[in-house]
Amino acid sequence: MNKSAKVTVSGGLAKLDYLFKWNRVLLRSFGVWPLDHTSTSRLERFGTFLLILNLGTLVIAEWNDLIQISGNFDLMLDNLTANLGTSLALVKLFIIRWNVDTLQNLIADVQNDWSIGYTDEDIKVMMARARIGRWFSIAGPLLSLPSALFFSLIPQVITLSMNGTEISMLMPFRSMYFYDVTSTPVYQFTYFSQSVASCTSSAAYSGVDCFFAALAFHICGQLEILGSTIRGFDGKDYRMVKNLVERHLRLIEYINDLESIYSTVIFGQLLVTSLAICSIGFKFTMSLDTEDFGDIGKFSVYLSAVLIHVFLYCYSGQCLIDESIRLSEAVYNSPWYEMKGSDARVFLMIQSRAQSPFQITALKFCVMSHSCFADILRNSLTYFSVLRAIK
């Protein structure tokens, strides 16, 4: 990636705002938006610190509760249904913050792409891809945030043993704090803090994923434009050959940077998603059996949010594979055989590299694609069937 790339005020800035507007709103709230992470006010940084601290406190309390109830299948399932999501959201934020410099360079190069003088057809391709990324950036939070509100408005009963006496109370999440939460106003404060943490985790979970979609679809657009340019190339201009190779190498750097940042995130996403779909689906069927319409609504929205986020990664990965294959075909069908020997050898470098499609993986264990999404659903249904058989 071009490390000297700088974000400048130009016509590309408006396109950049269209592409990343909702990602910026969400990620800036947690201090991980790459472009202005050093220029936020003290008040904003303090607010970010409180949000992260509150979310971290909830995650610790959830894992503490999981340890305390280990061996009780029903209570552990109640805990993990939400615990997996909140924990993963916190991990995602730390990974993005750790890679903020690489992301800054990525966004700078994306803006430079928008600032280059493309043809009207190329701009249409870029806008079409940007709309897909923007759609995911809106749809993700629209499903995640209502899910967070459901957890706050439809709490679960938690029973605590205090001095030999069992005390029942309502809380959004199963948790065990290191202080007494049953007294007033500590209980009200804890309930409120969990409600805020619920919204925080949903926004963080969704913001990180949707940011990936925006970047991935921009790369898809660049691959499509490069393929279209190669199809219209007559093979007579050496400078054009050099430019095409350089553009392809730049896209390889794009995808390598994106893979290095998100590979760990995706691995955690896949690991959590299979377990989450299984546990949420199980809780949903239990709600149907008891005709608890509040829980039916809560787990329906929650399941939809989990599915759309994992589909986001799989669909984006499949689009990258498809476009890189089309690029390889475009190079193969080009008049490379009519070029001078040195030009043809340089040009065929693109085809040699394009034979290995661009891929986003989960720490090299799994390639994100439609088949991966189908495998996730199949595995989740297998786990679900096992749970139903146990119960």
Instruction: Please indicate, yes or no, if residue 52 is contained in any of the structural domains.
Output: yes
Instruction: Please indicate, yes or no, if residue 311 is contained in any of the structural domains.
Output: yes
Question: Residue 134 corresponds to which tokens in the numbers above?
Answer: 């923007």
Mean pLDDT value across residues 240-262: 85
Instruction: Please indicate, yes or no, if residue 188 is contained in any of the structural domains.
Output: no
Mean pLDDT value across residues 212-237: 83
Cα distance between residue 215 and residue 222, in whole Å:
11
User: In the prediction, which pLDDT does 336 show?
Assistant: 67
User: In the prediction, which pLDDT does 56 show?
Assistant: 92
Residues in contact with 85: Cβ distance below 8 Å, sequence separation at least 6, in sequence order? 201, 202, 205, 272, 276, 306
Tell me the three state secondary structure of residue 166.
Answer: strand
Mean pLDDT value across residues 30-46: 75
User: In the prediction, which pLDDT does 15 show?
Assistant: 67
pLDDT digits (tens, 9 = 90+) for 112-150: 877 776 777 878 888 888 888 888 888 888 888 888 888
User: In the prediction, which pLDDT does 7 show?
Assistant: 41
Instruction: Please indicate, yes or no, if residue 126 is contained in any of the structural domains.
Output: yes
Inform me whether the pLDDT recorded for 38 exceeds 70. Answer: no
Share of the chain above pLDDT 90, in %: 12
Nearest to 69 by CA among 184, 165, 176, 228: 176
Instruction: Please indicate, yes or no, if residue 192 is contained in any of the structural domains.
Output: no
DSSP-derived letter for residue 183 is S
**Higher pLDDT residue, 375 or 284?**
375
Cis before 335 (ω within 30) = no
Q: Total domain count for the chain?
A: 1
User: In the prediction, which pLDDT does 163 show?
Assistant: 66
User: In the prediction, which pLDDT does 91 show?
Assistant: 92
Inform me whether the pLDDT recorded for 342 exceeds 90. Answer: no
Instruction: Please indicate, yes or no, if residue 239 is contained in any of the structural domains.
Output: yes
**Higher pLDDT residue, 87 or 335?**
87
Confidence of residue 9 (pLDDT cuts 50, 70, 90): very low
User: In the prediction, which pLDDT does 8 show?
Assistant: 41
Cα distance between residue 105 and residue 111, in whole Å:
10
Please report how many Cα atoms fall inside a 13 Å half-sphere around the Cα of residue 196, on the Cβ side. 16
> pTM (2 decimals)?
0.85
Share of the chain above pLDDT 70, in %: 89
Instruction: Please indicate, yes or no, if residue 87 is contained in any of the structural domains.
Output: yes
User: In the prediction, which pLDDT does 313 show?
Assistant: 92
The lowest-confidence range among 2-6, 205-209, 351-355 is 2-6
Taking the CB of residue 274, how many other CB atoms lie within 10 A of it?
A: 21
Looking at the DSSP bridge assignments, the partners of residue 367 are 361
**Higher pLDDT residue, 376 or 289?**
376
Cα distance between residue 197 and residue 150, in whole Å:
13
Mean pLDDT value across residues 309-327: 90
Cα 4 to chain centroid distance, Å, stands at 27
Instruction: Please indicate, yes or no, if residue 179 is contained in any of the structural domains.
Output: no
The lowest-confidence range among 39-53, 88-102, 151-165, 215-229 is 151-165
Looking at the DSSP bridge assignments, the partners of residue 170 are 157
CA distances from 98 to 104, 253, 259, 261 (A): 12, 19, 14, 9
Most confident of the following: 49-63, 152-166, 245-259:
49-63
Q: Which domain holds residue 269?
A: 11-153+198-390
> b/e string for 215-246 if b means 16 or more Cβ within 10 A?
bbbbbbbbbbbbbbbbeebebeeeebbeebbe
